[in-house]
Amino acid sequence: MVLASIDPFAVLRILCGIWFLPHCIGKIQNFAPASLTFAKVGLRPGRAFVAITIALELLAGIGLVFGIQEKLAAALAVVVLMGASYAVLRINGFNWRWQKQGPEYMLFWATACVLSVLG
């Protein structure tokens, strides 16, 4: 059977990588507002941190999608997602639930990135 031959960890790894694409697009399309947000949480200069984040997200996404240096790509993803979690906590305070804009989504995604390359 075809489904039995599909590696679920590879599918998870690819999905984790693909999800960086809309994040990169959003930051590129909203570079100035994103820069202000980064500066607001103490990541200055904001423009440089946005550019670095875009580059790290692209490297992590490409690595995860195409299976290039998967563990390094997952590590880059975790760095970006932990930074996003930090920013969310700085802006919104400690709110766990997504309805209150908590960091649980980023933490789940970071965990999925790690598990996808360990499986």
- Least Cα distance to 82 among 105, 59, 66 occurs for 105
Q: Which residue has the higher pLDDT, 101 or 82?
A: 82
Under DSSP, is residue 67 helix (H, G, I), strand (E, B) or coil? coil
Region 13-20 average pLDDT: 96
Are the CB atoms for 63 and 70 separated by under 8 Å?
Answer: yes
**43: phi > 0 → left, psi -120 to 50 → alpha, else beta; which?**
beta
Distance (Å, whole) CA 89 – CA 113: 21
* Percent of the chain at pLDDT exceeding 70: 92
Q: Which amino acid is located at 23 in the chain?
A: H
Distance (Å, whole) CA 102 – CA 95: 5
Tokens read off for 97: 């639930």
Angle at the Cα of 10 from the Cα atoms of 20 and 67, rounded to 5 degrees: 65
pLDDT above 80: residue 119:
no
pLDDT digit string (tens) for 21-76?
Answer: 999 999 999 999 999 999 999 999 999 999 999 999 999 999 999 999 999 999 99
